Structure 1
Amino acid sequence: MKKLLFVAATALLAANVFAQSPKPVWPAVKKEMKPWTRWWWMGSAVDEKNIASLLKTYREAGFGGVEIAPIYGAKGFEKRYVTYLSPEWMSLLKYTVQQAGTLEMGVDLTNGTGWPFGGPQVKTEQAATKLFVQQYDIPAGKSVKEVLDSGPKLPDGQMQALTVANDHGEVLDLWGKDDLQKMKWTPEKGSWKLYAAISGKTRQMVKRAAPGGEGFTLDHLSSASVTTYLDRFDKAFNGKSPGVRSFFNDSYEVYDATWSPAFFSEFEQRRGYDLRLHLPELVSKEKTDRVSRVKSDYRETMAEMLLANFTVNWTNWAHRNGGLSKNQSHGSPGNLLDLYGAVDIPECETFGSSYFPIPGLRRDSADIRNVDPDPMMLKFASSAAHTHGKPLVSSETFTWLTEHFKTSLSQAKPELDQVFLSGVNHVFFHGATYSPEDVPYPGWLFYASVNFVPSNSFWPHLKGLNEYIMRCQSVLQAGRSDNELLIYWPVYDAWSNPAGMDMPLKVHDVDVWLHPTQFYKTAVSLQQSGYSFDFASDKVLAGATSGGSTVVTSPQANPYQTLIVPQCKLMPVGTFKHIIRLAREGATVIFQELPEDVPGLSSLEAARKELSSLKASLEFSAWNGLKRCLVGKGAILVSADVKKALLSKDIRGEAMTEKGLNFIRRKAGNDTWYFVANLSAKSVTGSVSFNRVGRQVLIMDPMDGSYGAVDPQKTETTSTVDLRLQPGETRIIRIGAPAPGFSKWQYPEAATKSMLITNSWKLSFTQGGPELPADQVVKNLVSWTELNDPRTINYSGSAVYTTTFNLAARPPGPSLLDLGKVAESAHVWINGKDAGFAWSIPFRLRVEKFLKPGLNTLRIEVANLMANRMRYMDQQGISWRNYNEINFVNIDYKPFDASKWKPMASGLLGPVRLVY
C-alpha cells in the first residue's frame, strides 16, 4: 500500500496542471513552484505557538514549504532544547506537518542533525572509516614481527592486509597465511617493503549537531551501517509515515573516509582481482600508468559502494516511509550523475558570489567569498533529473552570497537566474532560522545564511522576489526539459588521476577535476554557441535506446538529437559497445576523437584487444570535411570541431546567445517555453530568433505577470520576434498553437518621453531601529546616512516617500516608473493603488493603468539592509550572538565584527522619472 501511495505521489509531482480559464497563460500554482527554505531549528528549541506563527508568516511572504534542519542551539535557552527524535520532538514534527498542510505548504526533513549523517546510534563499528597503510623496510634476514616490533606503532584499528613487495616487482600477500606464518615471514635476500593495511576510523563527529544528534559520522559505504543508522528513525516513527514530503541529505562532507571494512572483498567481487596485492600502487605517489589504473579501480569501487549501499538504500527507505529522497551528491567520492540519478529530487548548491557585468549591480570584493559558482557544476544535478525524467531539480541557493546583513534582493536575482538557466526549477533558500518571538532583535541567526528571516529589513519586500520565483518555476516545472544534445562525461579520465587516494568531486575543487578537461571546454563552447544539453554517465548510456534517429534515456525524458563524446583518453569497452549500438539503431554519435584506451587493471589486455577490434571494425570515410562511419541505421562522426559536425546534421544552436542572451527551454504538449535572461552589460533590442515554430508567440514578464501576443516572422525552423531586455531583465517566451483572446504585447521599453519628478518628498520612517528617526521633507534624494539626523545613520528598516506630480493627460501607451538607484528595494503605490515591488535592477515598474490626468500621488516604501543597525549594535557592545557551537563568523570564517564597517547607502537615491 505504501508503495502505491508513493507511486501516486510521484505521479502527482510529475503532473503539470494548467489553469483552466478562457486565457490559460501561467501554469496553475502548486506549492513546489513557490520557493522553499531551509529552516534551522536551533537546539530544536521550538514550540507549537511559534511554529504556527512562523509558518503563517512564511506563507504570507510567498514560501511554499520548509526543510527542517536541526542544529546547535543558543546559549541561555538550554531548558527549551528538545532532544532530537524524542517523543516530544516527534510530536512537534507532527504538529509542523499538520500546520503546514492547513497553509498548503510542504515540509521536508533532514535525515539527521547538522551534517553529514551521523549520531549517537553510530557506534565505532559503523563509523566513517579510513584506510591506514603503514610502510616498513624489511632487510634480508629480518622477520615481519621484528620489523613491526621495532618500527613505528601501527594505528588503532583492524589489520586487514600484510603485503610485501621488492624492487623487482614481486608482490606477496601474507594475509592468507596463519598468524604465525605472517609474523615469521623473512626475506632471504634483496630489498623488500612491508605494507600493513589497517581499517581505522576517521573519528569525525557530526558537524553542527543538535541536542540528541551528536555522535560519529556514518560509514556511507556500508549497507549494514546505513541500515543501523536508519533504524533509529524507524523506531521514532513507530511504523507511521511522519508525513513529510521528502527526506534530505546535505552535501557529502565526510572527510578522509577512504575505506570500509568490507572494501577488500567488495573490490575483488567488483573488479576481479585482489587489491591487497596492489597496496604499493594504491599508496604510491608515482605517476605511472599502473598506479593510475589501480587508483581508478579503487575509486570506481568506492563509487559503486556509495551508490548501492547508501544512496539506493536510503532512497528505498524514504519510499517505505512515505516520502521522496532529496540529495546533494556533489562532494561525493563517486559518479555524480549516477548518485544524483538514484534519488527523486537531485539538489545542487550555489556557494559564493558570481560576477555579472550588469551596470549598477553592487559587488564589493571585501564582502564576497573568493569562490565563483560554476553553472556547469549545477548541470550535473539537472542532467541527472532530465535524463531520468525526474520532474524536479532543487538547489540550496545563496549560501554565503555576500557578507552577513549586506545581501540585497537585487544581488540575489542574477544568481537566481543563473540557477534557473542551469536547469534548476525548485529553489530552496539558505535560509531561515526559527527564532521565537521573545528573542530580541535580530533573533537567532545561522552563520552561513543570507538570513531570510522576518527581522531582516528586506522582509516586507521579499514577496516580490518570491512571486517572481513562483512564476518562473511554474514554467520551468512544465512538461519536460527540451535540451537537444547529450554529452558523455568521461569520469574515468578523472578517476585515473594518480594523485591521492579517494577523489571526492567537490564544488571547491572544480579547478582540479572539471575545468582542465576537454569535456568542460566543449560544453562551455557549445553553450556559448546556443546549444542546450545534458550530461550522461556510462550507466545512463547503458540503458539508453534509439528512438529512430534520437537517443532516448528514459520514457519520461525528452529525446536527444545526438550524442557527443568529447575527447577522452579512457572508455570502458562496454560503454563503447553501447555507443555503437545506439548508432546501429539509428542515432548519430559525434566523437571528437575515438577513445585511446580502457580504464582500470582488470583483464586489461583482453579489454584493450576488444576495444582495438571494435575501433578497427568502424570504416570511416571523408564526408563534408569530417570522418563518417555508417553503422546500421545511424552514423558515427569524428571531428575535433563538434559544432561543425552538428551543423553537418543541421543541428543549430539558438542564435540569441550571439546577442548576449542566455536561455533554457521546456516542452509541454504543443507549447515550447523559453526562459530568457540578459545577464550582460548591454541592452538587447530588436529581432531575436527561436529554434521553434508556432502559430502564436506570447511574451510574458515574470516580474509582474504581464503578457501579450506578438506576430512572429516564421521560417520552417524558426520564429523571430522583437524582444527588448535591459541588463538584468528576464522574459518568458511561449511558442505554440494559437489561443483566442490575447491582447498584443506592448513594449514599455519603446516609451521615449521622460518626466523627472522634482517635487519635494515627505519622508517618514515607519518600521525598524534601533530607533525611528523623525519625519522630514526632502528636496533632493540622498542616502539616509547623509540626512541631518544621527539616528538615520544607524537605522535599518523601512521608510515611506510621498510626493505628487501632474499629468496634462493620461499617457496613451505603456508607461514606466523608473526609480533610478534604490538602496535597496521598494514597494510602490500610485493614487492609492498597489503598483508592485521594485526589488531588482533595473528598478522600473509598469504603471500606465494607475495613472490619471491631473494630480497623481506617489507613495514609495523603501527598505535598506540590516548592516547599519548591526554596525551600531557592535559599536555599542550590544550582545546578540551567543551560540553553543561555531557561534557567529564572518564570510572568511573569522569572528564576526561589524563595528568598523562604513555605513551603507540607504533609501531612494533616484532620480525618479516617469517614462511614457
Structure 2
Amino acid sequence: MLERRRFLSGVGGSCAGFSLGPSGQYVLTAATTGHTPSGYWQDIADGFRAPPGVMRPWVVWFWVNGNVTPDGVTADLEAMRKVGVGGVQIMNVDPGVPAGDAQFGTELWHDLFDHTVREAARLGMQIEMSDSDGWTGSAGPWITPDLAMKKVVWSSQSLPADGRTELSQPTTVQGFYRDIAILAVPASIAASSIIPDLKFKAGFSTSVMADGYDRFIPPIPLEPMQAPQDVCLPLSAVKDVTRYYVNGVLDWRPDGKEQWRILRFGYTTTGRTNHPASKGGLGLECDKLSRRAIQAHLKAFFGKIVERNKKYVPDVLTAAHIDSWEVGPQNWTDGFEAQFQRLRGYDLLPWLPALAGWVVNDTSRTERFLWDFRKTISDLVIENYAEEATRVLEGMGVGLSIEAYDADPTEQLVYAAQATIPQAEFWYGRDFFKDIYRSWDWVAAMTSSAHVYGRTRVAAEAFTAMPDERWLAHPATMKPLADWAFSTGVNHLIIHRYAMQPWPDLAPGMTMGAWGCHYERTQTWWSYSGPWHGYLTRCHYMLQQGKPVADLLYLTPEGAPSRFVGRDVDIRSPSPPLEGIYRYDGCPAQALTSRVSVQDGRLTLPDGKTYFALVLPEYGSNMRGVGMMTPETLARILELVEQGMTLIGAPPERSPSLSQYPKCDVRLAELVTALWGTGGRDQTDRRVGRGRVVSGVAAEEVLRREGVAPSFTAPDRTLFHSAHRRLQDGTDIFFVANRTDRPVHAVCSFRARGKCEVWEPEAGTRRVGVVARGNGDQSMVSLALDAHESVFVVFPQRGASSLPTSPASMLEGAPPIAIEGPWRVEFISGRGAPQSALFPTLQSWSENHDPAIKYYAGEARYTGYVDIPAGRLTERAPVILDLGDVCVVAQVFLNGQSAGIVWKPPFVIDIGRFVKEGRNEVSVVVANLWPNRLIGDETLPDDAVWEDATFGPFSGFGKKLVRWPAWLEQKTARTSGREAFATWKLWSTHDRLLKSGLLGPVLLRSGYGQNQMENPEYTPF
C-alpha cells in the first residue's frame, strides 16, 4: 500500500493554531504554532471553547430523483449553516418519489451542482459527492459490459468418441462473454457435492459463481471433512485443451480409452447495477478488480464535476465518497490468471474445476486454493479499485472517503486504509442497545483501521434509521448513541439524513423514502438544534486531538473476506454491550508487516501510537481463519518478539495457502517451535530474544499481572462510556459519558496523574475537577453527571489552570418557587392552530379539546410571570429555571432576553444573569414533533394518490406517492384542509398522539456546583 499525501477536509488554508496533517485533517501542534507548551495548551483550550468550522458535523444530503431547485439548495445550505452544520455528503437517489426536472447527469443537474458549490463556498461549508448515482458503489450508463463487474461461468459436456465437438457457451449476461480456458477431466470423476454441502459458518463470504446462481463457499468449514478419494480429481488429470479449440469447435483426440468431460470456463458480467439510482444515472457497476474500469468511471463523472469547479477544489469540494458495499460479489477480471500468478506464485488454471464443484487432489488442498483465490480477489479490489481511485482523485485535487465495513470480498481494514477518511455507520431505532449491537462491528473495524494506518478523522454515517423512526427522532434521543460512537473512536458525524427540500412552503416535505432520521430545515425543532450541533463540534474537536490510547493490538485472521469483530460483544446476551476493560485495536497482517516496530518493548506505529502486546486470533471462538497463518506473517511476528514485543495467544496450526505447499507448513512449524517451544498449545510463558510469548492466559489477565492499569474504570461498568487520547505534550484527555437515563455520582479511576479539569462540551465551559486521591499513575476523580451527560476530564501536563468553581447556592437556599400560570400560549400562524390560547394549567397539546391544538405541530410561545421578593437573590449566584417535562425542545426568555436553549432532560437553565427582584416575565418557546399533525391530517380528505411502498426486498413500510398531486403541480390552493405534506405516509388515524408542549412543573430553584458534591463514593441521586 502506498503512503500518500492525504487531502484536507477543511475550508481554506490553515487556521490559527492548526495545520494540515499527514492524514488530511487539521491538527494542532506546538511545532506548527511556534508556541511554548503553555501556548500550545492555551490553543487547545481556545479551540474547545470556539472550535474551528472544520470540526462541525455534516449531513448526508439526498437529492431525490431530480427534485432539486436553486432556491431549495440555497435555503437548505443556509439553514444548515445557521444551526452549525459544516458540510454535506451529497447522494443522488431515487427511493420511489415522483421525478423532478433535474435528472442526474443532465446539464441542469450539473448547473445546480455548480450552484451548490458556489453557495457552500459563500457559507464556508464543504461538500463530498458520492462517486455515482445511488449509494452502492461506482456505476453509471458509461460503464460498458467489458468495464463491468465479472464472474466465472462454465459449461460441461461429454467428449464424443471422435474427439470433435462444438462447445456450448456458458451463461452470458448483456451479450458479453470471454473464454478463460478449456479443460478436460476424466468422466469417471464427477463434480462433487462435498464442497458446497459442507456445513460452513454463515455470514461473510465471496461468491464462487455457477451458471445462473451464486454459490457461497466460505474460507473454512466448521466441520472439516475429507472427500472420499474416488470423488477427488487428481491435479495431474486436468488437461488444458484450450489450444485445440478453434472457431467454436474443439478437436482433441486423447490417447487411451479414458472418457473425458470438457469444461469450458469463461467469464461474463455480473449484471449488477447501482441502486437506488435515477434513470439518468442507472448503469452497470464498474469492474472492482480493474484499474482501467475505475479510471474510466471517475473520468466520466467525477472528473466532470471537478473540471467545472476547479477553483473550489479542495477547500469546498473536498472528496468523493464510496458508500457501503452493496454490489454483490465478483470473482474475475481481464488478466486475472496473470495477477493470480504474480500474487500467489502458481498457475490457477488447473485448479479451475474447484470453482465448479470438483475436489481437486483432496479437500485440504482445494480449500487452500479457494483461500488463495479469495485473497487474490481482495488484493485486487484494494490495489485496483480503492487505491487506484484514491490515486486518480488525488490527481484531481480531492480525497476519498469509503464506507469499507462489510465489504464482502476484502480484508476490510486494509480496504479502509486506502481512503483519505474511513467511514463507519451506526443505526438509530427504538432500542438503544440493539442499535449498538447492530453497528458495533462496523464501527470497530473502521476505527481500528484509522488508528493503525494513521488516519486522524474517523467519520460515521450516523443515525441511519429504519422506517419506524417516523419523525420521532430529535437531538435528545440521538445523543446517547452519539456518545457511544465517540467512545469507540468515531470523531466526525455525518448525520443520516437530510432530504433536499425543493419547496419553500411545504413541510415536512421531501423525504428520502421511508429511511433515515428526518433531519431537515422543515423539522419542527430544526431552529433549536444549534446547541446540539455545538456539542458535537466540541466533541469532534477534542476527539481529533492527539492520539488514541490503547493497550492491545489484536491481529485479525489472514485471508478474505475478513473483518474485525468487536471483542466485547455477545449479541446473544440480553444485557447491554460493554466496552473492554482494556482498550484495543484490530490490526491486519499487512499493517503488522509494514507499519509496526518495537521500541522500548512496546509495539509502535509510525505516528507514535504504542501498544503493550500483540494478541493472536482466539482459536475456538468461531472466528474463521483462526488456527491458520502464513509463514511470512509468523516470521515477522518472530522478528518483533525478538526485538522485545509481548505476544499473547496460541500457535497457528498450518498455513491457509497453497503457495509453496507443503514447504509452507514445514516453515510454519519451525517458526512455531521458535516462538512457543515444544509445548505447542499448552500454557506457555517464555522469553524469546528480548520479548515474551504467552499462551493459555487471557490478554487482560496478562496486563493485570504486569500491573498495567485500565485506562478508565468505574465502580459499575454499566454506568459510563469512555475514550482516552493523549496529546503530544503528554496531556491526557478522557471522554466520559453517562450511559444511563438517571443522574450518577461515582469515583472513577483514570490512568493519568496530577490535577485535572472537567471540560463541558455542551456549554464549552471548564472547571476544576475533584481528584479524590492519587496512586502512582492512577487518579481517582469524583464525577457527578446528569442523565446522558458527558464531559472531558483533562489532565494537563503542566498542571490544571486556575479556574473558578461553581457557586453552590442561590436564592439563599430557599424552597423552589413554582410558576403555576395561567400561561398565555401563542401559536405559529399558518399551521391551523388559533393565534393564542390561555392555559390555566400546563397540559399536553394532544389532550386539548380543540383539534387545531390537539393535532398541532410546530412552535408555541408560553408566557407567564414570577415574583421574587426583595433580598432573595445572591449576587452572581446561579438561578435555575427548571421546566420539568418538555416535549421536545425549548428556548427560554427572561424579561425579553434569551437565556438559551434546552434540548434534553433535565430541562434546566441558569437564568441568574437575567432575573431580577420583583416581577419577571418568563417566556418559553417550545417545539414538538410532526406525528400529531400527520395523524390529524389523516382524519381529513386525502388530496394525493398513494400506493403501498416497496423498496428492493422490503415492503410494508408505509405508502408512497404515485404522482405529484394536482394542487402542487398547478400551484393552486389546497382545499382538503390538510396542513402537512410529505412524500411518504407513515402515520394513520389509528396511531396514538404524542405528548407535546411544556408540561412542567416549572420551578425557580437553587442550584449546586457539581464539583462541590459530597460523598465521593458512587451514589445514585
TM exceeding 0.5: yes
Counterpart-to-counterpart distance in 1, 2:179 and 2:6? 47
Unaligned runs of 5+ in 1: 358-368, 496-502, 506-512
Q: CA offsets per residue over residues 756-783 of structure 1, 9 Å max, x none?
A: 6351242524337641245333244332
**Aligned-pair distance for 1:558?**
1.8
- Superposed, 1:808-847 pairs within 5 Å as 808=869, 809-810=872-873, 816-847=880-911
**Aligned-pair distance for 1:795?**
1.6
**Aligned-pair distance for 1:842?**
3.6
**Aligned-pair distance for 1:193?**
5.6
Distance 1:210 1:154, change over 3 A: closer
Structure 1 match to 2:273: 205
Structure 1 match to 2:616: 565
Q: CA offsets per residue over residues 479-512 of structure 1, 9 Å max, x none?
A: 22222322111143xx4xxxxxxx596xxxxxxx
Distance 1:378 1:811, change over 3 A: farther
Most deviating of 870-879 and 857-866: 870-879
> Which residue, 299, 303, 312 being the options, matches 1:234?
303
Distance 1:310 1:874, change over 3 A: farther
Q: Kindly provide the amino acid, as one letter, of the partner of residue 558 in structure 1.
A: K
> Which residue, 593, 602, 618 being the options, matches 1:542?
593
Counterpart-to-counterpart distance in 2, 1:827 and 1:800? 9
Counterpart-to-counterpart distance in 2, 1:753 and 1:408? 35
> Which residue, 375, 381, 399 being the options, matches 2:464?
399
**Aligned-pair distance for 1:206?**
2.0
Distance 1:120 1:855, change over 3 A: same
Q: Say if 2:319 is the partner of 1:246.
A: yes
Distance 1:168 1:124, change over 3 A: closer
Structure 2 SS opposite 1:197:
strand
Counterpart-to-counterpart distance in 2, 1:518 and 1:565? 18
> Which residue, 543, 546, 553 being the options, matches 1:486?
553
> Which residue, 438, 442, 447 being the options, matches 1:373?
438
Distance 1:515 1:344, change over 3 A: closer
Q: CA offsets per residue over residues 382-422 of structure 1, 9 Å max, x none?
A: 11111122111101111116422222322211111111111
Structure 1 match to 2:418: 342
Counterpart-to-counterpart distance in 1, 2:571 and 2:709? 20
**Aligned-pair distance for 1:642?**
1.6
Structure 2 SS opposite 1:604:
coil
Counterpart-to-counterpart distance in 1, 2:909 and 2:162? 85
> Which residue, 897, 903, 907 being the options, matches 2:993?
903
Q: CA offsets per residue over residues 193-225 of structure 1, 9 Å max, x none?
A: 654433122222221224532221111111111
- Superposed, 1:56-455 pairs within 5 Å as 56-72=78-94, 78=100, 80-81=101-102, 83-84=104-105, 86=107, 89-115=109-135, 116-135=137-156, 138=158, 145=165, 157-165=177-185, 166=189, 167-170=231-234, 171-179=237-245, 182=250, 184=252, 194-210=262-278, 212-232=280-300, 233-235=302-304, 237-238=306-307, 240=310, 243=313, 244-284=317-357, 288-332=363-407, 333-353=409-429, 355-356=431-432, 372-400=437-465, 402-438=468-504, 440-447=506-513, 448-455=515-522
Identity %: 23
- Superposed, 1:657-672 pairs within 5 Å as 658-659=716-717, 660-668=719-727, 669-672=729-732
Q: Is the 8 A contact 1:40 1:68 kept in 2?
A: yes
**Aligned-pair distance for 1:711?**
4.2
Q: Is the 8 A contact 1:710 1:744 kept in 2?
A: no
Q: CA offsets per residue over residues 545-586 of structure 1, 9 Å max, x none?
A: 1122221222x2422232222323111211112222222222
Structure 2 match to 1:796: 857
Structure 2 match to 1:363: none
**Aligned-pair distance for 1:77?**
6.3
Distance 1:629 1:426, change over 3 A: same
Q: Is the 8 A contact 1:141 1:187 kept in 2?
A: no
Q: Is the 8 A contact 1:384 1:535 kept in 2?
A: yes
Counterpart-to-counterpart distance in 2, 1:883 and 1:557? 58
Most deviating of 562-571 and 868-877: 868-877
Counterpart-to-counterpart distance in 2, 1:258 and 1:247? 25
Structure 2 match to 1:29: 51
Distance 1:139 1:796, change over 3 A: same
Structure 1 match to 2:75: 53
Q: CA offsets per residue over residues 147-172 of structure 1, 9 Å max, x none?
A: x56x9977762232333442352341
Distance 1:416 1:761, change over 3 A: farther
Q: Is the 8 A contact 1:174 1:182 kept in 2?
A: no
Q: CA offsets per residue over residues 422-461 of structure 1, 9 Å max, x none?
A: 1111111112122223463332221223121111112122
Q: Kindly provide the amino acid, as one letter, of the partner of residue 339 in structure 2.
A: E
Structure 2 match to 1:634: 691
**Aligned-pair distance for 1:887?**
8.6
> Which residue, 930, 935, 939 being the options, matches 1:866?
930
Q: Kindly provide the amino acid, as one letter, of the partner of residue 427 in structure 2.
A: F
**Aligned-pair distance for 1:346?**
0.4
Distance 1:708 1:552, change over 3 A: same
Q: Kindly provide the amino acid, as one letter, of the partner of residue 467 in structure 1.
A: G
Q: CA offsets per residue over residues 822-845 of structure 1, 9 Å max, x none?
A: 322222233434333222244343
Structure 1 match to 2:27: 15
**Aligned-pair distance for 1:467?**
1.1
Structure 2 SS opposite 1:435:
coil
Counterpart-to-counterpart distance in 2, 1:889 and 1:584? 54
Q: CA offsets per residue over residues 717-762 of structure 1, 9 Å max, x none?
A: 112221012332211111112354311256899x998636351242
Counterpart-to-counterpart distance in 2, 1:883 and 1:27? 50
Q: Is the 8 A contact 2:87 2:125 kept in 1?
A: yes
Q: Kindly provide the amino acid, as one letter, of the partner of residue 545 in structure 1.
A: S
**Aligned-pair distance for 1:298?**
1.7
Distance 1:815 1:758, change over 3 A: closer
**Aligned-pair distance for 1:102?**
2.6
Most deviating of 15-24 and 597-606: 15-24
Q: CA offsets per residue over residues 232-262 of structure 1, 9 Å max, x none?
A: 1435544946521111111111124333233
Aligned length: 876
- Superposed, 1:342-741 pairs within 5 Å as 342-353=418-429, 355-356=431-432, 372-400=437-465, 402-438=468-504, 440-447=506-513, 448-492=515-559, 495=560, 503=561, 514=565, 528-543=579-594, 544-554=596-606, 556-567=607-618, 568-591=626-649, 593-618=650-675, 627-653=684-710, 654-656=712-714, 658-659=716-717, 660-668=719-727, 669-680=729-740, 683-694=743-754, 696-712=755-771, 713-736=773-796, 737-741=798-802
Structure 1 SS opposite 2:628:
coil
**Aligned-pair distance for 1:48?**
4.1
Q: Kindly provide the amino acid, as one letter, of the partner of residue 248 in structure 1.
A: H
Structure 2 SS opposite 1:582:
helix
Distance 1:25 1:753, change over 3 A: farther
Q: Is the 8 A contact 2:149 2:271 kept in 1?
A: yes
Structure 2 SS opposite 1:618:
helix
Structure 1 SS opposite 2:893:
strand
Distance 1:411 1:186, change over 3 A: farther
Counterpart-to-counterpart distance in 1, 2:1004 and 2:153? 71
Q: Is the 8 A contact 2:421 2:459 kept in 1?
A: yes
Counterpart-to-counterpart distance in 2, 1:154 and 1:24? 63
Structure 1 SS opposite 2:509:
coil
Distance 1:242 1:162, change over 3 A: farther
Counterpart-to-counterpart distance in 2, 1:105 and 1:910? 39
Counterpart-to-counterpart distance in 1, 2:322 and 2:585? 24
